[in-house]
């Protein structure tokens, strides 16, 4: 079996690989090696037929990215028979909540958690996006302040059944830790990198790229310019808190106080808009607490099972944007320092190594897996 799967991977034979995966997944404890090879295969083969693959005998995942993320997590709970749908409306954080919920046996055995994105998903039509929401018994609805996204959210929300319970939760993020966060127009998609090798941008680094700064001068110039333009992270944190409070006024679930109390000692974000498993797990537990009447599951059991699976669950994202040394000092961050290595598609880079590669637009490296370092 394992030899057959490896041969299929080397030859790029998708049909053989799927057959090998199907045979292994028929067992209750699938092989971790098969999961890893499945992720590699679909990454190499352009995710061929990923939409058609029945994963772990549970459900058909709507996007190839979810298949790969579950392959990374190397765990799946079998849930025979029909399950009620819990639709999770929102940005990429909704997908993360669904993936985490699928790791919790008490939830996964009774419910199918389906992300309903409020952003454009390549290759997905509105009909495909809203298909599952029309049969949902519970909707976790992410509050949205942006007018364009808010309109889409309202359109999707209007399609839920009249009997569907709706619980609203806030978007999470923290700009204070990444004061120069921006888009990266220099990060171009390529094989294995649908959003490019450096998908999360830095305004100062982009400016230096535009100036044509050499690789040997990249770090020194970045530190010089970023320190000259650095806003006070403490004032940015105050702004973050105001935005959190504003969003939570419209939400049933609140998490801002938890984030403010813990962000210095626990890594809660991997970028300005992407939570870690620790933050998402807390949000998931609070959503379950607010939905106990619809779920019929004690939140204490959810928290217990989350605490059991979380240590072995890789981070949802394959990257972690390094923190500027001055931000670490000014905000009193305790979980990292200037020597900390951060995960970047399986590599482990310090802040300075990351900045050098980013500004040099270096692609002379390979994605080596998915585990997070910091």
pLDDT value, residue 367: 64
88, 113 contact by CB (below 8 A)? yes
Q: 136-168 burial string, b = 16+ CB within 10 Å, else e?
A: bbbbbbbbbeeeebeebbeebbebbeeebbbbb
pLDDT value, residue 314: 82
Comparing CA positions, the residue from 37, 66, 30 lying closest to residue 50 is 66
* E strand spans, the chain: 54-55, 59-60, 84-90, 111-117, 136-142, 165-169, 181-182, 201-202, 269-271, 274-275, 342-344, 347-349
pLDDT value, residue 341: 97
Q: 217-256 burial string, b = 16+ CB within 10 Å, else e?
A: ebbebbbebbeeebeebeebbeebbebbeebbeebbbbbb
Place of tokens 């770090």: 219
Domain limits of the chain? 1-71, 79-173+252-316, 181-229+318-360
pLDDT value, residue 219: 98
pLDDT value, residue 191: 74
Place of tokens 């749908």: 85
Tokens of 8: 């299929």
pLDDT value, residue 362: 92
Q: How far apart are the first and last CA of the chain?
A: 35
Tokens of 77: 């709970």
What CATH architecture applies to the domain 79-173+252-316? 3-Layer(aba) Sandwich (3.40)
Tokens of 79: 């849930």
pLDDT value, residue 127: 65
Beta strands at 269-271 and 59-60: parallel, antiparallel or unpaired: unpaired
Phi first, then psi, for residue 73 (nearest 5°) are -70, -25
pLDDT value, residue 6: 37
Comparing CA positions, the residue from 191, 126, 131 lying closest to residue 152 is 126
Strand partners, 136: 85
Cα separation, 300 vs 289, in Å, equals 9
pLDDT value, residue 328: 98
Cα separation, 67 vs 62, in Å, equals 9
Beta strands at 165-169 and 136-142: parallel, antiparallel or unpaired: parallel
**3-state class (DSSP) for residue 114:** strand
Which residues of the chain, if any, have pLDDT below 70?
A: 1-81, 120-130, 148, 192, 366-374
pLDDT value, residue 207: 98
pLDDT value, residue 255: 97
Residues 312, 349, 275: CA angle, nearest 5 degrees: 50
237's CB contacts (< 8 A; 6+ apart) are 174, 176, 331
């Amino acid at each position: 079996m394992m030899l057959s799967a490896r041969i299929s991977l080397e030859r790029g034979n998708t049909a053989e690989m799927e057959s090998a995966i199907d045979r292994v997944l028929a067992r209750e404890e699938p092989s971790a090696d098969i999961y890893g090879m499945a992720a590699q295969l679909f990454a190499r083969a352009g995710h061929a037929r990923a939409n058609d693959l029945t994963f772990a005998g549970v459900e058909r995942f709507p996007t190839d990215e979810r298949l790969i993320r579950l392959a990374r997590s190397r765990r799946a709970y079998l849930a025979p028979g029909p399950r009620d749908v819990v639709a999770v409306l929102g940005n990429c954080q909704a997908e993360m909540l669904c993936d985490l919920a699928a790791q919790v046996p008490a939830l996964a055995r009774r419910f199918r958690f389906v992300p309903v994105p409020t952003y454009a998903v390549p290759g997905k039509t509105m009909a495909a996006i809203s298909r599952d929401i029309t049969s949902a018994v519970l909707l976790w609805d992410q509050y949205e302040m942006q007018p364009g996204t808010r309109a889409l959210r309202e359109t999707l929300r209007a399609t839920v059944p009249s009997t569907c319970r709706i619980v609203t939760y806030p978007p999470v993020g923290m700009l204070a830790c990444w004061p120069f966060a921006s888009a990266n127009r220099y990060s171009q998609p390529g094989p294995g990198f649908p959003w490019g090798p450096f998908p999360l941008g830095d305004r100062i680094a982009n400016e230096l790229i535009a100036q044509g700064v050499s690789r040997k001068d990249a770090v020194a110039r970045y530190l010089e310019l970023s320190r000259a333009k650095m806003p006070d992270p403490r004032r940015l944190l105050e702004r973050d808190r105001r935005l959190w409070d504003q969003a939570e006024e419209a939400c049933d679930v609140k998490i801002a106080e938890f984030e403010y109390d813990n962000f210095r000692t626990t890594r809660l974000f991997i970028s300005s808009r992407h939570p870690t498993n620790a933050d998402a797990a807390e949000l998931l537990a609070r959503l379950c607490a607010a939905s106990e009447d619809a779920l019929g599951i004690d939140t204490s059991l959810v928290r217990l099972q989350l605490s059991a699976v979380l240590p072995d669950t890789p981070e949802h994202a394959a990257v972690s944007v390094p923190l500027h040394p001055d931000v670490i000092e000014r905000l009193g961050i305790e979980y990292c320092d200037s020597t900390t290595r951060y995960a970047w598609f399986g590599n482990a880079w310090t802040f300075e190594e990351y900045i050098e590669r980013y500004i040099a637009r270096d692609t002379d490296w390979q994605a080596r897996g998915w585990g997070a370092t910091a």
